[in-house]
Amino acid sequence: MNRPLRSPNETSHPPSKASMNLPIEVEEEDYFDYFYNEPGSIPGTLLIEDDAAPPVLFLIDYNEEGATRSKLNTPEEISPYLDSDSVSWIDVQGLGNEDVLRRLGKVFGLHPLVLEDIVNVPQRPKVEEYDKQLLIVLRMVTPKEDGKRFVSEQVSFILGDRYLLTVQEEPDYDPFGPVRERIRSNKGMICRHGADYLTYALIDAIVDGFFPVLEAYGEELETLEDDVVDNPSRATLERIHQVKRDLLGLRRAIWPQREVINSLLRDTTALMGDTVRIYLRDCYDHVVQVLEIIENYRELASSLMDVYLSSISNKMNEVMKVLTIISTIFIPLTFIAGVYGMNFNPELPGNMPELEIPYAYVICWIVMLAIAGALILYFKRRGWFDNFSGIKH
């Protein structure tokens, strides 16, 4: 879904591994690539993935009095609604049929480059004005069902005078449910405004969709904060690396959308009314807030990497402290055992006469234990036995 389309001769360049020269194995997601045409390709060429979902067309036609929702079988069924007095929202979910998409482009009179931007995903978020139409390309994210990580996909808007065409990559992930419910129940102001207000409502839903994803990453970072201190491990390092990568993907998705909304606020077009521009300011504020949260989380993830390295270093120091104490205690004991383990004849002058002393073996043990006890007492008074909690993990 969020993979760029490539020709067979094209190659991808995976991101670099984490620092420390450790081979981090994580689930790869192409959050960082945009689609690009193969050099020399014909403008307007459509490249569709083999596993792309077939397009499903839905129509919501509404005015102040009410709304109707229907599923369309062919793109040609849309034509009567394009010039009606009501507002028509045509939602296309899936990009798996080139014939349907080209027929859809013919019904709406789309420029070949517009259709290319819609179909050849992912494109960088942007806004472009054509003859009586406004193209808006955005990226939306939704949490996965297991609550871990997120799904990123492109959604394209074609805004006309009385209609709005939206094209999504996949039918499975869609944050537009609340907007559909507002239209169905005629709540709020959406049914009293035109297609430009509907465009604002959908953009607002896309931007707000970032907050649940960021909330999940906030909880993950809180868990990682405890783990890097209490039990730093290789799995912790991999999780930190994955969170940093995902946050970079979120930043790459939301950053250009700030430019898109700013362009809608700044540029004057007859398709976007002054009343809607006021509401777009709120969208812009939300985008800025999302960016600030992402930047804060990225800084926290980077600091967690430093804390992880410090925890590993402290853990190693504790281990070295234990080994040093053990070695220091056994050095004099080994020396004594080595001296009296030499095979000299005590009957000859100067050859270990103390070996003839009664209870020499017992005395040797008493001396060795006394030395070991004295060293242990010395180390204890020096505080060497304190703070060994880090080595128990």
Mean residue pLDDT of the chain comes to: 84
Residue 84 has pLDDT above 60, yes or no: yes
pTM confidence score: 0.75
Residue 47, pLDDT score: 84
Last residue within a domain, chosen from 292, 310, 328: 310
pLDDT mean over 48-76? 91
Residue 363 has pLDDT above 50, yes or no: yes
Residue 388, pLDDT score: 56
- Tens digit of pLDDT for each residue in 287-297? 999 999 999 99
Percent with pLDDT over 90 in the chain: 47
Pairing of the two strands 126-130 and 133-143: antiparallel
Same-domain status, 335 and 204? no
**Residue 281's domain is classified under what CATH number?**
3.30.460.20
Handedness of CA 69, 101, 117, 35 (dihedral sign): positive
Same-domain status, 241 and 290? yes
Identify whether 89 is part of a domain. Answer: yes
Last residue within a domain, chosen from 310, 329, 363: 310
Residue 24, pLDDT score: 37
Residue 12 has pLDDT above 70, yes or no: no
Last residue within a domain, chosen from 310, 325, 343: 310
Say which residues have a Cβ less than 8 Å from residue 84's Cβ, sequence separation at least 6: 61, 162
- Tens digit of pLDDT for each residue in 153-183? 999 999 999 999 999 988 888 889 999 999 9
Same-domain status, 105 and 164? yes
Same-domain status, 300 and 367? no
Band (pLDDT 50/70/90 cuts) for residue 17 is very low
Band (pLDDT 50/70/90 cuts) for residue 14 is very low
Least confident of 30-44, 52-66, 259-273: 30-44
Taking each helix axis from N to C end, the angle separating 210-230 and 234-266, rounded to the nearest 10 degrees, works out to: 150
Identify whether 4 is part of a domain. Answer: no
Least confident of 43-57, 105-119, 373-387: 373-387
Residue 390, pLDDT score: 46
Residue 367 has pLDDT above 60, yes or no: yes
pLDDT mean over 276-286? 94
Same-domain status, 273 and 316? no
Of the two residues 205 and 345, the one the predictor is more confident about is: 205
> Do residues 72 and 147 touch, judged by C-beta distance below 8 A?
no
Band (pLDDT 50/70/90 cuts) for residue 72 is very high
**Residue 328's domain is classified under what CATH number?**
1.20.58.340
Residue 18, pLDDT score: 37
Residue 241's domain comprises: 19-310
Most confident of the ranges 117-131, 283-297, 366-380: 283-297
pLDDT mean over 60-77? 93
Residue 6 has pLDDT above 90, yes or no: no
Identify whether 250 is part of a domain. Answer: yes
Can you list the positions of beta strands (E) in the chain?
56-62, 67-72, 87-93, 126-130, 133-143, 150-159, 163-168
Same-domain status, 291 and 327? no
Residue 246, pLDDT score: 93
Residue 320 has pLDDT above 50, yes or no: yes
> Do residues 152 and 31 touch, judged by C-beta distance below 8 A?
yes
DSSP assignments along 108-156, one per residue: HT--HHHHHHHHSPPPPPEEEEETTEEEEEEEEEEE-TTSSSEEEEEEE
Band (pLDDT 50/70/90 cuts) for residue 387 is low
Same-domain status, 207 and 339? no
Residue 113 has pLDDT above 70, yes or no: yes
Same-domain status, 355 and 209? no
Percent with pLDDT over 70 in the chain: 87
pLDDT mean over 114-142? 92
Same-domain status, 369 and 306? no
How far is it, in rounded angstroms, from Cα 108 to Cα 285? Answer: 33
Band (pLDDT 50/70/90 cuts) for residue 1 is very low
Q: How many domains does the chain have?
A: 2
pLDDT mean over 297-313? 87
Residue 37, pLDDT score: 62
Residue 33, pLDDT score: 63
